[in-house]
Structure 1
Amino acid sequence: MQRKKISFAILSAILGLGTLLSGCGGNEEVTSTTSSNSQGQSGQFATKMKISMFNQGTFNAAAPVPPRDEDVQRQMLEKEMNIDLDMMIPQAGQATTKLNTLIAGGDIPDLIFLKSRADLAQYYDQGVLADLTPYLDQFPELQKRFGNDSWEAMSYQGKTIGVPGYDNVNGISRSFFIRNDWLKKLNMEVPTTPDELFEVMKAFTEKDPDGNGKNDTYGFIGGMNKEGNLQTYGFDSLMWMFGVNPPSAIEIKDNEPIFLFIDPKMKEALAYINKMMEAKVVDPDWVTMNSPDLLDQKMFKGKVGFMIRDARRLEPDYQQKMKEISGEVPEWIVIPPMKGPYGDQIVERKSFQGNSWAISAKADKDKIIRILSMLNYLFTDEEAYPNFAYGIKGIHWDVVDGKIKNKTSELSKEMKEKYLWVDHYRMPRRGDDAEYFSFQNPKTAEAFKDNQQYVGPTLPGNLLTPDPSDTLDADRTRFINESLVKFMTGKEPLSNWDNFLQTLDTKFDMQKYKETAIKQFKEAGLIK
């Protein structure tokens, strides 16, 4: 399996999993995993080995570590691998300090979960971590378990120094919601293109879809965060219809970086949103929508017909909030993203793989093989999967009518609290496994599964780190954000687009930014 070189300068800027730990709280689907015990069949290892694990990848750092005789998952790992597993769960917020203390004292854990790629590179540079390159070809199923982009995130100086920690979750938080009851009333079909979507939004605004005789409905509501960035609040999803996105979005095509925020297609995306603004189909409150909670309130009030929100808004708790606030439960449905003029059909881009499993440089060959065998079993064994992803059979899940059924949502509060520690082992859960989330509404699971086909690949721009000598970086980013907002609202006419590009070059040294990007992409082996 080929790997690309990644420079430490790039690595130092990569963030950890962050908010995408939403997967830890509940989200995903059931896809089959491939069973391969070629490295870890019971009896494969004759000599018992002690393995120490520093597990800050737990989905619940506050949960206790149970005694061995109660810890079903630990017993499975120990029996399968013939090991004594000593698992350490650092307290939330203290993981880095605890790990550094262990390293300074020479007591380096054998297996270490790291939350950021920058940490992975730094500890390797310090001589703490082992190079896994010579061993991974013995584990083809483990290599297949994660995509190439995830493995590339484990690469540093031409070597593979980690194993992906767990899948990030995509295809749920940015779902295309539309009022199906309004479509029916206005005798309209689900839109499939930007033009059709505009006509629907216009009708939702002008044709009294709620039938109250008042001019109080809108086709769309979006927003931007408190820093003035349009990403994640809806408008960016509209831009993806044209294959572009704001500031950090950079693709590589024909061995050249394509800066999507200044690509000619961005001008088309802004013209589309400006058309929406001019037609007054956008709820004017969008300028105050700087948090997800505020957008939720708009959804609950039921006066907007199209939004980009989390598919879990179909779950009973959220449906109840809609009823409490608006007096009804609107018939919201999740639809595929529009197919844009260039063939783009994107719900969101796949999140960057930041988290990883690393192995101590003090581990000898036999221990490295044993640990990789354990990860291979943990992540690829089909029969073991539900025991780690869902919890304890008969309590958290069971086989019903020949199919696995996650019963977590049916458990009492007391039972959930009693078995909180199963969260220490959920890392193998797949990022597209709807059964893991134990959705109560089948439509939520359906929407989540359907969205997976519209998750685009990770953009290489995520690898870039600002050049310390580029003193204009922050001002440049701010100028880009502000200009995009001005263009889409009409405060700046799109006839001034060329002036915007020229100002980027002359006042904000866009050429320096381009050179920095090219240099780092070359170091990463992404362009020649």
Structure 2
Amino acid sequence: MNRNYKKLAALMLCSGLLLTACGGNANNSKGGSENAAASAGANGGTQAKTKISWLNVLHTASPPTDTVLNKIEEFTNADIEFSWIPDASKEERINTSLASDSLADIVTLTILDNSSVRNALKSGMFWEVSPYLDEFPNLAAISQDTRTSASIEGKLYGVPFQKSKARNGVIIRKDWLDKLGLAVPKTTAELKEVAKAFTEKDPDGNGKKDTTGFMDRSDLVYGAFKTLGSYFGTPNNWAVDDAGVMTPEFATEGYIQTMDYMKALYDGGYINQDFAVTAKNDQQQNFAQGKAGIYVGALFDSKNLLNLAKGIQDGMELVMVNDITSTGKPEDRAIWSSSNGIGGLLSFPKSEVKDETELKRLLKFVNDLMSDEVYALMTYGIEGVHYTADANLAVTIKDTDLWQQEVQPFAASRPNETGYKIHDADPLKVEAERLIQENAEYGVLNPAFSLESETNTAQGSELQKIITDATYKYILGKMGLDEFKGEIDQWKKSGGSKIISEYEAAYKAVNP
């Protein structure tokens, strides 16, 4: 932060005119409007803008224009200077910046499993922010689970990017359910019966046996397998007991039950027989073309699936389900959490941020980025320019090209993505967002997410191939249970046992 601006720490929030431009939901601001009056000068004047540099990741082809940036700067009373790093080269660029100490007041770190990033965080290069978060209303609202998941060796070296904690579920052709007189399934057994009916009872009415139940892809994480695993009580990557003993998910009964379920789908023909080699794009295209009626994945994929079906399956209706269990008991409801809802950190290097006064100014800035007003700006743009909103704050984009140029590049920079009242007008997307927020209550976290294992860093991907290959072979009937367990033993002998012991030691160090 520019030292000439140190004394100008008071924040000038936006005027009533700007609040209107920010989307018309000033009454919903999380601390924003309350601070507007406090940020005015004692004699009715305004404070000068504070200069803030931000080393950030760009997920679009080009950086945004200044149109929305100017409004964000007005609201936060900041003069923001972005240094954009293309997403495709972020690992190399971030590693170089860390090594050369060529950083900024705020640094976006999204690759927390990168050894250079973790070593830099542990070295004391960045401020530990835990003692300060509760001084700011939006930062104070960050849950302890989120803070723990984003910590390194028990210390939080930045403000976590808060993503949807658990976004997956089951998307089903409702028009096919209705045609066959079937109810929306609530158990895995009922889901299998739907898959069987979609395969055998001609749901599209063309007189041919050319449909199947599930349309899946070659991905045991983001495809059907891990979500179905949640329904059978499989832990999220790792389970840990009260004594701190760690068990990998593939060594649990829930994992075996999930493999058995997938094998039954495969053997019965209720899933595309080439799922083990199907790419995501082909999976979605096949579903949109009416070749299957069940899709397991991110609930917000429903809108894309419906759009892909236009002109091909115009009668397609979809229903999203997020409360399936294997037992039929509501108390057994669970869904795995992707990255524990953590998208990285907004970190503050001590080389640039010299003292607590500067740190708190930056934390105040991030706090204000999490207001409803700035969320609206970074998500939809300026009301009347980029979008219109009805009385319920449902948004319709006016000009998609303009929005993509001036607004979309900011989306990945939002410190928090959930819990805001302004929303997309599309009813399917609204329902998906509702179910995703509901999922958070049942999300199963990975207890090893923030922990460190040198062996896992060095060999984890290679060792995981042993389990992935064995899982596919079991489902496809090329391997029995004893052979699968033999592959687990091979995983342990090849380094897996060291991963377990290292994770257990790391867990006990932060949970004495």
TM-score scaled by structure 2? Answer: 0.79
Task: Work out the percentage of aligned pairs sharing the same amino acid.
Answer: 21
Measured in 2, the distance between the counterparts of 1:112 and 1:474 equals 27
Partner amino acid, structure 1, of 2:208: K
Question: Is the aligned partner of 1:113 residue 2:108?
Answer: yes
Change (3 A) 1:434 1:181: farther
Quote the residue 2:260 is aligned against.
Answer: 271
Note the C-alpha offset of 1:114: 2.4
Matches within 5 A, 1:389-428: 389-398=379-388, 400-401=390-391, 403-408=392-397, 410-411=398-399, 413=401, 415-416=402-403, 419-420=406-407, 423=410, 427-428=414-415
Quote the residue 1:77 is aligned against.
Answer: 76
Question: Is the aligned partner of 1:43 residue 2:40?
Answer: yes
**Unmatched runs of 5 consecutive residues or more in structure 2:** 1-26
Contact 1:35 1:383 in 2 (8 A): no
Picking from 164, 189, 206, the partner of 1:212 is 206
Measured in 2, the distance between the counterparts of 1:467 and 1:435 equals 43
Quote the residue 2:364 is aligned against.
Answer: 373
Question: Is the aligned partner of 1:234 residue 2:224?
Answer: yes
Question: Is the aligned partner of 1:451 residue 2:441?
Answer: no
Picking from 473, 476, 480, the partner of 2:467 is 480
Contact 1:271 1:494 in 2 (8 A): no
Note the C-alpha offset of 1:251: 2.1
**Unmatched runs of 5 consecutive residues or more in structure 1:** 1-30
Change (3 A) 1:89 1:120: same
Contact 2:237 2:446 in 1 (8 A): yes
Note the C-alpha offset of 1:168: 2.1
Picking from 147, 151, 157, the partner of 1:151 is 147
Matches within 5 A, 1:107-506: 108-117=103-112, 118=114, 121-124=118-121, 128-144=125-141, 146-156=142-152, 158-164=154-160, 166-169=161-164, 172=167, 174-225=168-219, 230-244=220-234, 249-255=237-243, 256-289=245-278, 291-315=279-303, 318-324=305-311, 326=312, 328-341=314-327, 343-352=331-340, 353-361=342-350, 362-379=353-370, 381-398=371-388, 400-401=390-391, 403-408=392-397, 410-411=398-399, 413=401, 415-416=402-403, 419-420=406-407, 423=410, 427-431=414-418, 433=420, 435-436=422-423, 438=424, 441-455=426-440, 456-468=443-455, 476-494=463-481, 499-504=486-491
Contact 2:122 2:152 in 1 (8 A): no
Contact 1:395 1:407 in 2 (8 A): no
Contact 1:180 1:333 in 2 (8 A): yes
CA deviation digits over 1:177-207, x for unaligned, max 9?
A: 1122222222221111111111221122222
Change (3 A) 1:193 1:143: same
SS of match in other structure, 1:339: coil
Matches within 5 A, 1:14-93: 34-35=30-31, 41-43=38-40, 48=48, 50-57=50-57, 60=60, 62-66=62-66, 71-78=70-77, 83=78, 85-92=79-86
Partner amino acid, structure 2, of 1:517: Y
Measured in 2, the distance between the counterparts of 1:233 and 1:116 equals 22
Contact 1:61 1:89 in 2 (8 A): no
Measured in 2, the distance between the counterparts of 1:500 and 1:105 equals 43
Question: Is the aligned partner of 1:513 residue 2:499?
Answer: yes
Contact 1:167 1:431 in 2 (8 A): yes
SS of match in other structure, 2:250: coil
Measured in 1, the distance between the counterparts of 2:83 and 2:96 equals 14
CA deviation digits over 1:28-75, x for unaligned, max 9?
A: xxx96632678783137986464322141556472245389x812212
Of 456-465 and 494-503, deviating more is: 494-503
Measured in 2, the distance between the counterparts of 1:490 and 1:236 equals 19
Partner amino acid, structure 2, of 1:76: F
Contact 2:380 2:407 in 1 (8 A): no
Over aligned residues, Cα RMSD in angstroms? Answer: 3.7
Contact 2:239 2:248 in 1 (8 A): yes
Partner amino acid, structure 2, of 1:306: I
Change (3 A) 1:214 1:240: same
TM-score scaled by structure 1? Answer: 0.76
Partner amino acid, structure 2, of 1:484: T
Measured in 1, the distance between the counterparts of 2:209 and 2:187 equals 26
Instruction: Flag the structure with more relative contact order, 1 or 2, with Cα contacts below 8 A and sequence separation at least 6.
Output: 1
Quote the residue 1:10 is aligned against.
Answer: none
Contact 1:124 1:161 in 2 (8 A): yes
Count, aligned residues: 472
Measured in 2, the distance between the counterparts of 1:432 and 1:310 equals 18
